[in-house]
Structure 1
Amino acid sequence: MKEISINGQVREALGKKASKMLRKEGLVPCNLYGETKGENGLPVALSFTAPMSELRKVVYTPHVYVVNINIDGKERKAIVKELQFHPTSDALLHADFYEVNDQKDITVGIPVKLNGLAQGVRDGGKLNLSIRKIDVTAPYKQIPEILNVDVTNLGLGKAIKVGELSFDGLKLATPAQVVVCSVKETRASKAAAAAAAE
């Protein structure tokens, strides 16, 4: 996975009013969930702020990054857990990060890339990508930037499901029956098939 760095500062003032003031200054309220657990056994969040100018490169991208967050001089590695946007303006309101390390498995959605010219497309069909990302589980250092799926032998009317795929060192967390891509019949392919039958 690619890595990217951002700077943050521990957030002292919490609450809606304080968050509004931060956003006016171009800062985004964030939480980092890590190894620390509270009395109830749930992860304790470290509240911090980061400049929108730096978060932009993490948020508005198709790539999945490991984020090196420097909070008041202490660096932590994390992945984006959840993002909250304003319902009308699409402005980023809040970001949650999840701390990662070399040993701990994480589950993250990785973009799918279809490779090759499908047999079904050669026969006049149309290739459809049904899901853009597949959830995989592994230590972050083993997770690739993209998942390559070979469609060369995919025939007309056929599909590739998650359960038919395997990638070295990765466990697939997306359900096995989910369709990744398929070749749909078109008018041209039906006409060609009818002509061949005659």
Structure 2
Amino acid sequence: EAPVHFYASAADFRTIIYTPNVYRIDVELEGNTIPCVIQDIQFHPVSDEALHIDFIQLIDGKPVTIEVPMRLEGNARGVRNGGKMKRVLRKLKVKATPENLPDAIVHDITNLRIGQAVRVSDIPANNFEIVNSPSAVIVSIKTSRTAVADEDEDEGAEETSGETPAEA
């Protein structure tokens, strides 16, 4: 189909523009309801006001590629040991049919240690395909001056558990 052009006030879109979430939007034009998602937004460089929005029409059974926010859960073990978390990708490109599009991709980083990283290939893709390079880093834990080696924390936990080693 040919692209449909329309104009609407920026205030009408304010709640869906300034959020990291992906929303399915029903656009009503001339009595027709068109299910869509936002593909791209162009902002004014100074005022940060939305100037132009591109929508993709959702057609049942037809795959669509959009960016979906990557949400990290948990407090990484490496950060608790003094490491610094570096977030590289905040969104992932996902290809899926409209009924399988996730609102966000959630990944637990609780066991992530200093020197480790989560890559795109580590993310399970259920009913959708991640288009980004499988080797792309999403988040990593870097060492810092105050970082404690993981082994030191493990030994400290054993000593404070109340158990004392038997003397020979």
TM-score by length of 2: 0.81
2:142 and 2:89 map into 1 onto residues whose CA distance is 15
State the match for 1:128 in structure 2. Answer: 86
What do residues 67-95 of structure 1 show as CA deviations (whole Å, max 9, x unaligned)? 10000211001111222222333222222
Q: Secondary structure at the residue paired with 1:77?
A: strand
State the match for 1:83 in structure 2. Answer: 41
The residue correspondences of 1:1-198 to structure 2 (distance < 5 A) are 36=1, 44-189=2-147, 192-193=148-149
Unaligned runs of 5+ in 1: 1-35, 37-43
1:130 and 1:81 map into 2 onto residues whose CA distance is 21
Pairwise CA distance, 1:103: 0.6
Unaligned runs of 5+ in 2: 153-168
1:133 and 1:68 map into 2 onto residues whose CA distance is 23
1:139 and 1:176 map into 2 onto residues whose CA distance is 21
Change (3 A) 1:152 1:92: closer
Q: Secondary structure at the residue paired with 1:177?
A: coil
Pairwise CA distance, 1:100: 0.8
2:40 and 2:68 map into 1 onto residues whose CA distance is 15
2:60 and 2:25 map into 1 onto residues whose CA distance is 14
State the match for 1:13 in structure 2. Answer: none
TM-score by length of 1: 0.70
Change (3 A) 1:152 1:86: closer
What do residues 164-196 of structure 1 show as CA deviations (whole Å, max 9, x unaligned)? 21121110011112111111111111xx44x95
